[in-house]
């Protein structure tokens, strides 16, 4: 029974990944991350992704507070934040988030406040979607690991 | 794209195999990046490639580490966009203080950023996200270059030879290729070598030569110098000697010379095409009806032929100014006699035109004083019969006097009378009134500049012509 469960889990993971790739949410860099995961760093992907989430939320908060400010004029600072965001997103393989950031950066270079606001909204939306999906992915992965562990119980 | 594998890299360096094996494995890399995520990924990638990695977020800390122990690191990879210190300054500092190759990374693949980085001494650059393949290739490239430079002097070129334009060009071509998500195009890496400036590359690669403006100028000087002696002397070997430029080979010169010659040939072909036009003009002109008394005009065929294709287009669009000639207003318009310049086919080339025009100007100036000149054929006047015909041939109204265009239906101002008296006032340039035709289609020889009527009986030639014209009953269109 656990064996069947494992199969199902594995196909779930693959299906989800395939979906994300198809939607353009993730790209090949994510596969790179997976390749970097090995025995020496077994949780590499989830570690990196969690750091990414933390950083991104900080950045998003900063960006929002900058834009909400009435007397906002520091587009340069926003550009710096965005640069960070672009860098980290591309290192993760979060393609859609990265693209929105690039568009955001363009709007900020043009000092286009309205464009920036729209981009921010879109960015938050994309980021939320990514986060949810990745969480889901990790959950299934977790279950699969558990199932695998149970399958081969450690003999004390 | 050509990926170079480890083996190919090793071949020329078999001599230094020991050193080589040292350089690819166990390389000590210092990675500096503001962004935690990127740093972690980069660190992991480098470790996976087999290098010893130290990471830091702080640039100053990184510099400290470098300074403390100069031998401790072989390569530095750093992000250029940072908060605490200007990334480019950092690049510069590392490059200058310690002779360690620096690779820059950046989130944006802006050409400007790349060029800045390279100008400041980056050996190479990576656009984020950094992939394992990229990193491996770059480091191999950078270290293999290092090994070569330690042993031999750079193969060719030095910083001064390459001007910034080329760097930009090379960087941008590099950028374009990198932007495609394919793996590195190793070939381009060879030609863009950042701080070392010159085109040094592993010996197995052929130098890709770029001809800068200065070099081309030198080449041209050498070429013309040799050509002056004799055309045979223009050989790549001699050119190379004269140019006396380090870093180019005879082959470079040879190929450049060939391109140059081809270019010359093309130019000549275009010029010859003009003369092709000339011969066409001849044919067409001959189709004009020639009256028997055209002896005077025998040499002067009415034709307006475009000298090149651009003019041809204008020509067809009725936009061609008067046959590439100066507007008639520059001819002294002393009466309302319009001298539509007629060229013979041989006079179509520009320098001749100028000469001819000048001659004509001179002659025209003599009009009021000496109508005898008229017979010499230097005043070109279309036989009336051919005037409209030539216009028809042309198909377009001539633009005379600049903006004024005269339609084939020429307005005639006054009937011709034997005394040559004309009612139109000389020198009036009003639209449409420029060419007066009498009822017989004979151009009015208006009043002379000094106001005296033209007396044809004065001149035998003239009277003959007039006689002949009078025989023509109607203008032949």
- pTM given for the model: 0.47
Question: pLDDT tens digits for B162-211?
Answer: 444 444 444 444 444 444 434 444 434 443 433 343 334 444 455 566 77
For residue A19, the model assigns a pLDDT of 94
Structural domain boundaries, residue B90: 28-144
Q: Does residue B48 register a pLDDT over 90?
A: no
Q: Does residue B222 belong to any structural domain of this protein?
A: yes
Minimal CA separation from B34 to chain A, in Å: 8
Q: Does residue B449 belong to any structural domain of this protein?
A: no
Question: Which residues make Cβ contacts (< 8 Å) with residue A43, sequence separation at least 6?
Answer: A37
Q: Does residue A59 belong to any structural domain of this protein?
A: yes
Q: Does residue B433 register a pLDDT over 60?
A: no
HEC string of B124-136 equals EEEECCCCHHHHH
Q: Does residue A120 belong to any structural domain of this protein?
A: yes
Q: Does residue B313 belong to any structural domain of this protein?
A: no
Neighbours of B284 (CB within 10 A): 17
Domain with residue A88: its CATH number is 1.20.120.160
Domain with residue B120: its CATH number is 3.40.50.2300
Choice between A122 and A154, residue whose per-residue pLDDT is larger: A122
Q: How confident is the model at residue A51 (pLDDT cuts 50, 70, 90)?
A: very high
The count of domains in chain A is 1
Q: Does residue A36 belong to any structural domain of this protein?
A: no
**Considering only CB atoms, which chain B residues are within 8 Å of A51?**
36-37, 40
Q: Does residue B293 register a pLDDT over 50?
A: no
Q: Does residue B94 register a pLDDT over 70?
A: yes
Among B95, B129, B144, residue at a domain's last position: B144
**Considering only CB atoms, which chain A residues are within 8 Å of B181?**
28
User: Can you read off the two tokens belonging to residue B301?
Assistant: 């065929």
Structural domain boundaries, residue A78: 2-25+44-150
Question: Would the CB atoms of B132 and A44 count as touching at under 8 Å?
Answer: no
Q: Does residue B125 belong to any structural domain of this protein?
A: yes
Q: B102 φ, ψ to 5°?
A: -120, 135
Q: What is the mean pLDDT of chain B?
A: 60
Q: Does residue A31 belong to any structural domain of this protein?
A: no
Q: How confident is the model at residue A120 (pLDDT cuts 50, 70, 90)?
A: very high
The residue among B446, B448, B435, B413 whose CA lies nearest residue B328 is: B435
The beta-strand segments (E) located in chain A are none
The verdict on B123 and B230 lying in the same domain is: no
Choice between B230 and B30, residue whose per-residue pLDDT is larger: B30
Q: Does residue A118 belong to any structural domain of this protein?
A: yes
Choice between B92 and B184, residue whose per-residue pLDDT is larger: B92
Question: pLDDT tens digits for B4-23?
Answer: 445 444 444 443 434 444 44
Q: What is the CA radius of gyration of chain B?
A: 38
Question: Would the CB atoms of A91 and B130 count as touching at under 8 Å?
Answer: yes
Whether the Cβ atoms of residue B137 and residue B187 lie closer than 8 Å to each other: no
- Rounded CA-CA distance B3/B302 in Å is 67
- Rounded CA-CA distance B159/B139 in Å is 22
The verdict on B140 and B41 lying in the same domain is: yes
Mean pLDDT of B377-406: 40
Q: Does residue B263 register a pLDDT over 50?
A: yes
Q: Classify residue B71 by burial, with Cβ atoms within 10 Å: 0-12, 13-18, 19+.
A: exposed
Choice between A156 and B59, residue whose per-residue pLDDT is larger: B59
The count of domains in chain B is 2
Q: Does residue B91 belong to any structural domain of this protein?
A: yes
Q: Does residue B327 belong to any structural domain of this protein?
A: no
- For chains A and B, CB pairs below 8 A equal 66
DSSP B323: G
For residue B273, the model assigns a pLDDT of 65
Q: Does residue B234 register a pLDDT over 80?
A: no
**Considering only CB atoms, which chain B residues are within 8 Å of A36?**
41, 44-45, 48, 132
User: Can you read off the two tokens belonging to residue A5?
Assistant: 């469960």
Q: Does residue A30 belong to any structural domain of this protein?
A: no
Residue indicated by tokens 């999906």: A133
Q: Could you please report the per-residue DSSP string of A13-46?
A: HHHHHHHHHHHTSB-HHHHHHHHH-SSSSTTHHH
Q: Does residue B444 register a pLDDT over 70?
A: no
**Considering only CB atoms, which chain A residues are within 8 Å of B36?**
51, 55, 88
Q: Quote the ipTM score.
A: 0.89
For residue B304, the model assigns a pLDDT of 47
Question: Which residues make Cβ contacts (< 8 Å) with residue B464, sequence separation at least 6?
Answer: B293
Mean pLDDT of B59-69: 81
Mean pLDDT of B102-110: 81
Q: Does residue B475 register a pLDDT over 70?
A: no
Candidates A83, A98, A101, partner chain B, best to mutate (most B CBs within 10 A) = A83
Establish how many alpha carbons lie within 13 A of residue B230's alpha carbon, considering only the half-sphere containing its beta carbon: 2
The verdict on B218 and B139 lying in the same domain is: no
For residue B299, the model assigns a pLDDT of 41
Q: Does residue B139 register a pLDDT over 50?
A: yes
Among B129, B144, B159, residue at a domain's last position: B144
- Rounded CA-CA distance A103/A122 in Å is 10
Q: Does residue A35 belong to any structural domain of this protein?
A: no
Q: Does residue B248 belong to any structural domain of this protein?
A: yes
- Rounded CA-CA distance B461/B295 in Å is 11
Domain with residue B239: its CATH number is 1.10.10
Candidates A76, A80, A84, A102, partner chain B, best to mutate (most B CBs within 10 A) = A84
Question: pLDDT tens digits for B242-260?
Answer: 887 777 788 888 888 888 8
Whether the Cβ atoms of residue B134 and residue B184 lie closer than 8 Å to each other: yes
Q: Does residue B104 register a pLDDT over 80?
A: yes
The SS3 call for residue A150 is: helix
**Considering only CB atoms, which chain A residues are within 8 Å of B37?**
48, 51-52, 55, 87-88, 91-92
> What percent of chain B is modeled with pLDDT above 90?
0
Among B102, B126, B144, residue at a domain's last position: B144
Q: Does residue A6 belong to any structural domain of this protein?
A: yes
Q: Does residue B201 belong to any structural domain of this protein?
A: no
Sign of torsion over alpha carbons B215, B221, B226, B232: positive
- Rounded CA-CA distance B235/B47 in Å is 55
């Amino acid at each position: 029974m656990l064996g069947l469960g494992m199969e199902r889990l594995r196909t779930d993971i693959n299906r989800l990944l395939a979906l994300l790739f198809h939607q353009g949410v993730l790209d090949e860099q994510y596969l790179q991350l997976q390749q970097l995961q090995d025995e020496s760093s077994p949780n590499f992907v989830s570690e990196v992704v969690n750091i990414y989430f933390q950083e991104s939320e900080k950045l998003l908060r900063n960006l929002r507070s900058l834009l909400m400010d009435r007397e906002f004029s520091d587009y340069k600072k926003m550009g710096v934040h965005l640069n960070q965001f672009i860098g980290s997103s591309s290192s993760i393989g979060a393609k859609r988030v990265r693209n929105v950031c690039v568009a955001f950066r363009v709007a900020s270079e043009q000092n286009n406040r309205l464009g920036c606001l729209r981009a921010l909204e879109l960015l938050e939306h994309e980021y939320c979607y990514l986060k949810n999906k990745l969480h889901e992915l990790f959950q299934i992965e977790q279950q699969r690991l558990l199932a695998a562990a149970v399958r081969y119980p450690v003999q004390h | 794209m050509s990926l170079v594998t480890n083996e190919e890299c090793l071949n020329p360096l078999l001599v230094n195999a020991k050193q080589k094996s040292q350089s690819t494995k166990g390389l000590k890399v210092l990675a500096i990046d503001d962004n935690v995520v990127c740093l972690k990924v980069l660190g992991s990638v480098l470790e996976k490639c087999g290098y010893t990695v130290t990471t830091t977020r702080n640039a100053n800390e990184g510099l400290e580490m470098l300074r403390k122990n100069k031998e401790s690191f072989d390569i530095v990879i750093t992000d250029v966009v940072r908060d605490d210190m200007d990334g480019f300054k950092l690049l510069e500092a590392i490059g200058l203080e310690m002779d360690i190759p620096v690779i820059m990374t950046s989130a944006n693949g802006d050409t400007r950023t790349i060029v800045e980085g390279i100008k400041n001494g980056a050996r190479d650059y990576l656009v984020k996200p950094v992939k394992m393949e990229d990193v491996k290739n770059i480091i191999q490239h950078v270290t293999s270059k290092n090994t070569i430079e330690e042993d031999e002097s750079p193969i060719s070129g030095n910083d001064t030879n390459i001007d910034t334009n080329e760097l930009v060009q090379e960087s941008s071509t590099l950028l374009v290729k990198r932007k495609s998500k394919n793996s590195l195009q190793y070939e381009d890496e060879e030609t863009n070598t950042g701080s070392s400036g010159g085109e040094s590359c592993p010996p197995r690669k052929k130098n890709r030569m770029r001809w800068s403006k200065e070099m081309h100028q030198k080449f041209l000087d050498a070429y013309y110098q040799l050509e002056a002696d004799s055309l045979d002397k223009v050989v790549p070997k001699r050119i190379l000697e004269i140019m006396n430029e380090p870093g180019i080979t005879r082959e470079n010169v040879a190929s450049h010379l060939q391109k140059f010659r081809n270019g010359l040939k093309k130019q000549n072909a275009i010029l010859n095409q003009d003369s092709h036009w000339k011969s066409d003009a001849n044919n067409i002109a001959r189709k004009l009806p020639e009256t028997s008394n055209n002896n005077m005009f025998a040499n002067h065929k009415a034709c307006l032929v475009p000298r090149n294709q651009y003019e041809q287009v204008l020509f067809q669009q009725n936009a061609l100014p008067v046959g590439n000639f100066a507007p008639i207003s520059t001819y002294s318009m002393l009466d309302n006699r319009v001298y539509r310049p007629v060229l013979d086919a041989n006079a179509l080339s520009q320098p001749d035109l100028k000469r001819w025009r000048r001659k004509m100007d001179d002659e025209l100036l003599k009009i009021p004083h000496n109508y005898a000149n008229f017979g010499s054929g230097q005043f070109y006047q279309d036989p009336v019969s051919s005037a409209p015909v030539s216009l028809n041939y042309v198909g377009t109204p001539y633009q005379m006097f600049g903006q004024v265009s005269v339609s084939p239906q020429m307005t005639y101002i006054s009937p011709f009378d034997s005394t040559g008296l004309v009612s139109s006032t000389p020198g009036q340039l009003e639209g449409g009134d420029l060419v007066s035709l009498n009822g017989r289609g004979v151009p009015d020889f208006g009043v002379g500049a000094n106001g005296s009527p033209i007396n044809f009986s004065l001149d035998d030639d003239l009277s003959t012509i007039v006689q002949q014209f009078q025989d023509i009953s109607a203008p032949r269109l």
